[in-house]
Amino acid sequence: MADEQEVQQIELLCRQLYESQDPVVREQAEKAVVAFQESPDTLSKCQALLERGKSSYSQLLATTTLSKLISRSTTSLSVQQRLDIRNYILNYLATRPKLANFVVQVRFSK
């Protein structure tokens, strides 16, 4: 699982990606976010972001990354693991009424 410093670093990358006016900074942040999404420990990092992250952008990254992870046909997750992740995300979204609208609107493939 990600430590507090790593959670803060990912939150900073998300802010740079969505708020920076500098295209070079945004491009570097985008590359780092893609690397995060393709990391072998993405699942635990996303869970850490959802549990300890403070920024709506990092919550969005975590929920969309998990949504993509369970939707990929090439993933090595079992059907039960996919259902567990989906249910975790849906529970997370349902139990946090103050989330930004763009975080709540995550879509899941059937």
All structural domains of the chain with their residue ranges: 4-104
What pLDDT score does 110 carry? 42
Q: What pLDDT was estimated at residue 4?
A: 83
Contact (CB, 8 A) for 34 and 13 = no
Q: What is the pLDDT of residue 17?
A: 92
**Contact between residue 8 and residue 49 where contact means Cβ atoms under 8 Å apart:** no
Return all residues near 61 (Cβ < 8 A) that are at least 6 apart: 10, 14, 33, 36, 46, 49
Enumerate residue ranges in the chain where pLDDT < 50.
109-110
pLDDT, residue 104, reads: 64
- Selection from 64, 63, 55 nearest residue 9 by Cα: 55
Looking at residue 41, its pLDDT comes to 85
**What confidence score (pLDDT) does residue 87 get?**
85
- For residue 44, give every residue at least 6 positions away whose Cβ sits within 8 Å of its Cβ, in sequence order, or none: 1, 2
